Structure 1
């Protein structure tokens, strides 16, 4: 596990400076905004009429408050601090962009819709994020690399959740022994994942976030 963290540490250098870059002309105000961190209050464009179900501002703020305050790395820093994050079903990119705003070093976005990916790329450009902080590809498998991601954010279509998340985790190149998986779904979703422990659940209206880690990984220090 130490090797995984040493590998991740070498990726950290470009994080903070890129988030302070001057943005290009912003997209027309959408229905979403970033809720915390260095980009708090910035608006995100959302495609209309294309089957997008973005996580609401309220639910996203609750999720990232849990990630920031409850899950701590050894030494007490947030699990998001300098993390490599995968937004596995990206849509508008709101989850991965929120992670960058709140201290992640790098966010990878997987989105198989060309129209949605175009909006995501426009959001990244409007926020002024520099090269090296983000990458957008059509599948999560395209990001399979040695060392994997410290945080995986999975918000698949609710009806496809168990199958989609299980398929995602079959690619061992995406995660390591200290990865935290966040799965967004409805309250009826079966959250059992072979080989992964359920650490915590948080409901926000009709949405439930569950937090998982590989079985046998180190105990997560719980914040307040």
Structure 2
């Protein structure tokens, strides 16, 4: 696993091998991450990354949030409650030398405290458990999601966005479905 583009381009991130099923770690592959960021930066969504405040729910290794930081986001908040995941996130922040631009929140992503609005949300829950819906509802309720925020939701099946969230695009990459949505307070 490596950072694809930006100021950390080519940096090898901490490896989890093929994932850690016990810790529910299933890192987004470089190929899928590259496709996802091509979707985001391809012009259809403007430039949702430059100077964005990024929230990475179920952060795992932190690769999605750190990729956004590498590409121009101003800050990333990485949320996970797994011991192995938190260790990998800390190691990857250290490798990127970006501790002043990253916050780690050791928390269950479905039970978030009050927060500040973020412009770009990565949502990569364990597949097949319905946790994405719960985490997104918690993030919206607790003030983590800005009006007009883009939400990048990764799952193994097409998702059904909740009220206030509009699906803009969805693409399948093998067993991964990437859905891009937009949140609106009205």
CA distance in 2, matches of 1:164, 1:109: 17
Query: Aligned to 2:96, which of 112, 127, 140?
Result: 127
Is the 1:156–1:184 Cα contact (8 Å) retained in structure 2?
yes
Is the 1:191–1:210 Cα contact (8 Å) retained in structure 2?
no
Is the 1:156–1:164 Cα contact (8 Å) retained in structure 2?
no
CA distance in 2, matches of 1:111, 1:177: 24
Question: Which gives a bigger RCO, structure 1 or 2 (Cα 8 Å, sep 6+)?
Answer: 1
Structure 1 residue 89 and structure 2 residue 62: aligned? no
The equivalent of 1:138 in structure 2 is 106
Query: Relative to 1, partners in 2 of residues 1:112 and 1:38: Cα closer, same or farther, differing over 3 Å?
Result: same
Q: Which of 1 and 2 has greater Rg?
A: 1
What is the SS of the residue equivalent to 1:212? strand
Query: Aligned to 2:45, which of 55, 67, 71?
Result: 71
CA distance in 1, matches of 2:185, 2:65: 27
Query: Aligned to 2:155, which of 161, 182, 185?
Result: 185
CA distance in 1, matches of 2:140, 2:55: 15
Query: Aligned to 1:159, which of 119, 128, 142?
Result: 128
TM-score by length of 1: 0.73
Query: Relative to 1, partners in 2 of residues 1:143 and 1:216: Cα closer, same or farther, differing over 3 Å?
Result: closer
CA distance in 2, matches of 1:106, 1:166: 19
Post-superposition shift, 1:88? 0.7
Query: Relative to 1, partners in 2 of residues 1:54 and 1:184: Cα closer, same or farther, differing over 3 Å?
Result: same
What is the SS of the residue equivalent to 1:37? coil
CA distance in 1, matches of 2:29, 2:114: 26
CA distance in 2, matches of 1:128, 1:216: 35
TM-score by length of 2: 0.86
Deviations 1:93-112 (A, max 9, x none): 01000000111000000010
CA distance in 2, matches of 1:158, 1:118: 22
Structure 1 residue 150 and structure 2 residue 119: aligned? yes
Aligned residues: 177
Post-superposition shift, 1:41? 0.9
Query: Aligned to 2:29, which of 51, 56, 64?
Result: 56
Structure 1 residue 47 and structure 2 residue 20: aligned? no
User: What 5-or-longer segments of structure 1 have no aligned partner?
Assistant: 1-31, 73-77, 218-224
Deviations 1:93-142 (A, max 9, x none): 010000001110000000101221011101111111142x0000112524
Query: Relative to 1, partners in 2 of residues 1:144 and 1:115: Cα closer, same or farther, differing over 3 Å?
Result: same
Post-superposition shift, 1:159? 0.7
CA distance in 2, matches of 1:153, 1:178: 14
Query: Relative to 1, partners in 2 of residues 1:134 and 1:61: Cα closer, same or farther, differing over 3 Å?
Result: same
